[in-house]
Amino acid sequence: MSHNCDDSLEKLYLYLDSELDKANTEHIRTHLEECTDCFVSFDFEKRLKRVVHDRLQEKVPSHLLDKIKTAINEAETHSPGAII
């Protein structure tokens, strides 16, 4: 693995989150176009991030939320101040 690979993979999440400046973004984009190994890592992380994001957007059924709230309230009643 080259220095460019190490640098690109170190900044991968910043790149995915669009938190890098223009120069670093372009540097990583160019590297990903040239390096198959890093592109595979990038592509996996990008797809994983998308799946996690999509799953977090799903609605939790209200009956399940009610059960969770009840369980928390019961736990607090039996053990006030306990960390659940």
Chain segment 49-84, per-residue pLDDT in tens: 889 888 888 788 889 889 999 999 888 887 665 555
Q: What is the pLDDT of residue 53?
A: 85
Asked, for residue 39, whether it belongs to a domain, the answer is yes
Asked, for residue 65, whether it belongs to a domain, the answer is no
Phi, psi values for residue 61, rounded to 5°: -60, 140
**Mean pLDDT to the nearest integer, 9-15:** 88
User: Would you call 6 helix, strand, or coil by DSSP?
Assistant: helix
Domain count, the chain: 1
Asked, for residue 41, whether it belongs to a domain, the answer is yes
What range does the domain containing 44 cover? 3-57
Q: Which of 49, 24, 50 is nearest to 8 (CA)?
A: 24
The helix-helix angle for 3-10 and 36-56 (nearest 10°) equals: 10
Asked, for residue 51, whether it belongs to a domain, the answer is yes
Longest dimension (CA), the chain: 60
Asked, for residue 77, whether it belongs to a domain, the answer is no
Asked, for residue 19, whether it belongs to a domain, the answer is yes
Asked, for residue 66, whether it belongs to a domain, the answer is no
Asked, for residue 10, whether it belongs to a domain, the answer is yes
**Mean pLDDT to the nearest integer, 12-29:** 92
